[in-house]
Chain A
């Protein structure tokens, strides 16, 4: 099955700095790559996603890049704020052939210090 690896497992940055989280996937049939944010004790929530026909997508301070050839994708958060502190998960899906099921990375715990 699909294997999604995520690095780093923990990341600490100062407020205002940028944060980058990287993921790799194993199955070239994967075509959808979302990122989820999970605050302590809460459910994961989608923050941004990208499809395999797009190389980059941006939404305000958050951007995601995809390199299909290398099978890796990254989350970039600029001008970080303390409320960005959370666990971030990347995921990959093969779409309809796998029931749109997502395979998740193990998560990155981001701490933004004032």
Chain B
């Protein structure tokens, strides 16, 4: 039982390049989320998917797109990377209250640097 798996763990991009961060969970969770973490800023929600086939914007969606490929996978795409997108990105999944232990399960994070 791997929980939430994120790839890659580290990435360096040049300004203007594109890339996709991958996230997969094996806990049969309905909801999945992408956050970015910057020093002193906490975790800010980029996009979320409450269930397969739906996605919604969070607090800081500009410059990102997402795809909920199936129930397991939720990817985050940077179409044209900018230095302001240098951050640590966390994927998380969750199941609603009343279905056992509640609370996010986070992936191990992707440390992205845009130069």
Partners in one complex: yes
Instruction: Kindly count the residue-residue contacts between A and B in the assembled complex, taking CB atoms under 8 Å apart.
Output: 58
Q: Whole-angstrom distance from the CB of B11 to the nearest CB of chain A?
A: 17
Cα–Cα, bound, A45→B58 (Å) = 21
Interface centre among B31, B104, B106 (most CB of A within 10 A): B104
Partner of A103, one of B45, B107, B109: B45
Residues of chain A with a CB closer than 8 A to B109's CB: 43
Is B106 in contact with A44, judged by CB distance below 8 angstroms? yes
State the interface size on chain B (CB cutoff 8 A). 26
Q: Whole-angstrom distance from the CB of A104 to the nearest CB of chain B?
A: 4
B71 at the binding interface (Cβ < 8 Å): no
Encode A79-114 as 1/0 by CB contact (under 8 A) with B.
000000000010000011001111111110000000
Partner of A1, one of B41, B59, B96, B103: B59
Please report A residues at the B interface, Cβ cutoff 8 Å.
1, 6, 9, 32, 34, 36, 42-46, 49, 51, 89, 95-96, 99-107
